């Protein structure tokens, strides 16, 4: 049965935005009612919360928020608030004190009462000029706390453009909606267990992780963390991905399992080692040897003789001296050890990520500078069986660029007064013709001495300059102005098809209650 709604989507948008503004204003001004002293995961890859992650990572360069609990994302509201209380603000240099006050202003320091809570995040981004459309976002959130148990149901409702071109869910009058944080958790001392829908991101980065990116869609399933002795943490998960549809209309189940050890062998050095497998098939259930975190995933895959897709990653973060961070990630998808047959000529599929960050410059404590380089070889994240491509609901599970490309990013941050931050960024991206979505090819089977240039084919190059001004008045109001200009050569991999005048500006406002 099909029911045609008479509700105007534009009126729905206005109503949602007004509800996020009017309801808190009409309610009591009780300090508990709408203070953002929250619990649960801090949302990943959202305009309203990116600044909190940036502030925490900035303070990490001074030795705060250290250890294995603050190495992977998401962070937990309660943990951040508790650890903020351990910092003596009188001992902080200018830039660290700026970020300390930012987190304190955003989250508060009071303990949150138990029971049910209802909150709203709402925002709208206006396009000043350029091709970026005006878009809105609204996040109703209900959570419940009792003892060590925590339940959360948080939804994303907004313009289709907030989810990007890859969004494949239902669109109603230009409006989308889906649950992005819907889970239950149990946390006590050294263990944390989660069941439901969450996002994960493993390893230090500026622009995205090689193994698990927070810019992908959330995952449905089970995950847990266990902290050994404070400096060694085991993390593991098993998620159910979207099924793969065959040509005849039937479906193949798809799963993602992984585990990770994070170790802090000594103060200011943290190391992580991860292993992930994506697998499936018609009627196939989650495998015990992939689900149980003590199995070696790649060895299990070889012993079973099933063509699943395993990836291995290692990363580190080192603070050689105060206010300075050096970090990196190495990902291996496929590496041919023997060189006996034509199949052994397959190029190595790998990813590299290295970065450096200085939280304050000599004689300029209000300035922060950083740079990062990412390189991912062709066919990385890909596999001959389409169901094993490193994709979930159309989004890349790994690095957002995909494969067959590299990206250099340089960033300069200026902090003024107490609530205003300027971020200037330059990036240069090269993208070859390889795609994770491409059909698997084997050109090395036809050429005994096959080699492949990087990036492959006609390379599209994008140079981008971006300026962001952020103003965070308090825990309830955040505004940003973003302007950028980009120049693209060989656009869409067409030789000498250049595009240079893409200039855009946008203004965003977010209200959190």
pLDDT value, residue 253? 97
pLDDT value, residue 389? 97
By the 8 A CB rule, do 430 and 406 touch?
yes
List the pLDDT tens digit at each of the 513 positions of the chain.
Answer: 333 333 344 433 443 343 333 333 333 333 333 345 567 899 999 988 999 999 999 999 998 998 788 899 999 998 898 899 999 999 999 989 999 999 988 887 666 667 888 888 889 988 766 555 788 999 999 999 998 999 999 999 999 888 888 888 899 988 999 999 999 999 988 899 999 999 999 999 999 999 999 999 999 999 999 998 778 999 999 999 999 999 999 999 999 999 999 999 887 899 999 999 999 999 999 999 999 999 999 999 989 988 999 999 999 999 999 899 999 999 999 988 777 788 888 899 999 999 999 999 988 888 999 999 999 999 999 999 999 999 999 999 999 999 999 999 999 999 987 789 999 999 999 999 999 999 999 999 988 888 899 999 999 999 999 999 999 887 788 899 999 999 999 999 999 887 766 788 889 999 887
User: Of 238, 5, 30, 32, which is closest to residue 116 (Cα–Cα)?
Assistant: 32
Between CA 403 and CA 401 the distance in angstroms is 6
User: Of 300, 353, 308, 304, which is closest to residue 334 (Cα–Cα)?
Assistant: 308
Structural domains in the chain, CATH included, are 9-512 (2.40.160.130)
CA distances from 183 to 45, 168, 434 (A): 18, 22, 36
Phi, psi (rounded to 5 degrees) for 422: -105, 135
Strand pairing category for 349-358 and 367-376: antiparallel
Q: List, as own/partner pairs, every contact residues 335-342 make where C-beta atoms lie below 8 angstroms and the sequence separation is at least 24, other chains included.
A: 342/444, 342/445, 342/448
Beta-bridge mates of residue 154: 141, 181
Half-sphere exposure of 464 (CA within 13 A, CB side): 18
User: Of 274, 259, 269, which is closest to residue 223 (Cα–Cα)?
Assistant: 259
80 SS3 class: helix
With residues binned 3-state (H G I as helix, E B as strand, rest as coil), the percentages for the chain, rounded to 5, are 15, 45, 40
Q: Which residues contact 484 (CB under 8 A, 6 or more apart)?
A: 464, 465, 466, 467, 503, 504, 505
> Which residue is listed with tokens 């902080």?
92
pLDDT value, residue 14? 40
User: Of 442, 492, 437, 483, which is closest to residue 464 (Cα–Cα)?
Assistant: 483
DSSP one-letter code for 90: G
Note if the bond before 74 is cis, omega within 30 degrees.
yes
> Which residue is listed with tokens 């596999």?
383
Between CA 436 and CA 377 the distance in angstroms is 11
What are the DSSP calls for 337-403, one per residue?
---SSGGGGPPPEEEEEEEEEESSBTTBTTEEEEEEEEEE-TTTT--SSGGGSSEETTEESS-TT-S
CA distances from 139 to 153, 155, 249, 320, 513 (A): 10, 5, 35, 40, 10
Phi, psi (rounded to 5 degrees) for 226: -135, 125
Q: Which residues contact 372 (CB under 8 A, 6 or more apart)?
A: 205, 206, 207, 353, 354, 355, 356, 407, 408, 409
User: Of 411, 422, 319, 407, which is closest to residue 369 (Cα–Cα)?
Assistant: 411
């Amino acid at each position: 049965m099909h029911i045609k709604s008479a509700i105007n989507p534009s009126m729905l948008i206005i109503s949602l935005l007004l509800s996020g503004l009017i309801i808190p204003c009409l309610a009591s001004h009780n300090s508990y009612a709408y203070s953002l002293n929250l619990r649960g995961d801090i949302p990943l890859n959202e305009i309203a919360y990116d600044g909190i992650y940036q502030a925490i990572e900035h303070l990490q360069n001074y030795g705060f928020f250290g250890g294995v609990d603050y190495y992977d994302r998401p962070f937990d509201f309660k943990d951040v608030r508790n650890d903020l209380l351990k910092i003596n603000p009188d001992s902080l240099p200018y830039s660290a004190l700026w970020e300390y006050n930012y987190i304190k202003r955003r989250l508060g320091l009071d303990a949150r009462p138990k029971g049910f809570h209802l909150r709203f995040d709402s925002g709208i981004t206006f396009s000043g000029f350029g091709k970026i459309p005006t878009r809105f976002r609204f996040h109703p959130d209900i959570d419940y706390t009792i003892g060590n148990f925590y339940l959360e149901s948080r939804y994303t409702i907004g313009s289709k453009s907030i989810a990007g071109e890859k969004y494949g869910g239902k669109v109603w009058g230009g409006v989308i909606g889906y649950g992005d944080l819907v889970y239950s958790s149990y946390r006590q001392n050294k263990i944390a267990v989660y069941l439901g829908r969450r996002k994960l991101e493993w390893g230090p980065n500026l622009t995205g992780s090689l193994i698990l990116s927070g810019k992908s869609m959330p995952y449905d399933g089970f995950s847990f963390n266990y902290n050994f002795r404070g400096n060694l943490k085991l993390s593991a998960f098993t998620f159910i991905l979207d099924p793969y549809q065959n040509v005849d209309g039937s479906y193949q189940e798809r799963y993602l399992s992984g585990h990770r050890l994070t170790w802090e062998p000594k103060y200011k050095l943290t190391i992580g080692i991860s292993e992930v497998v994506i697998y499936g098939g018609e009627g196939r259930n989650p495998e015990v040897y992939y689900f149980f975190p003590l199995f070696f995933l790649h060895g299990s895959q070889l012993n079973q003789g099933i063509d699943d897709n395993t990836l291995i990653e290692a990363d580190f973060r080192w603070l050689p001296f105060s206010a300075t961070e050096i970090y990196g990630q190495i990902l291996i998808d496929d590496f041919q050890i023997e060189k006996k047959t034509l199949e052994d000529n397959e190029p190595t599929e790998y990813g590299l990520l290295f970065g450096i960050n200085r939280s304050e410059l000599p004689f300029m404590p209000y300035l922060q500078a950083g740079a990062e380089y990412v390189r991912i070889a062709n066919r990385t994240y890909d596999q001959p069986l389409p169901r094993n491509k490193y994709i979930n609901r159309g989004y890349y599970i790994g690095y957002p660029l995909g494969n067959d490309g590299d990206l250099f990013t340089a960033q300069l941050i200026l902090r003024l007064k107490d609530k205003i931050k300027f971020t200037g960024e330059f990036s240069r991206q090269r993208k070859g013709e390889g795609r994770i979505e491409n059909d698997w090819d084997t050109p090395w089977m036809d050429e005994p001495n096959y080699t492949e240039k990087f990036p492959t084919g006609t390379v599209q190059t994008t140079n981008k300059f971006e300026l962001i001004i952020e103003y965070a008045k308090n825990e309830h109001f955040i505004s940003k102005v973003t302007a950028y200009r980009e120049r693209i050569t060989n656009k869409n991999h067409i030789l000498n098809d250049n595009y240079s005048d893409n200039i855009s500006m946008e203004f965003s406002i977010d209200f959190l209650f």
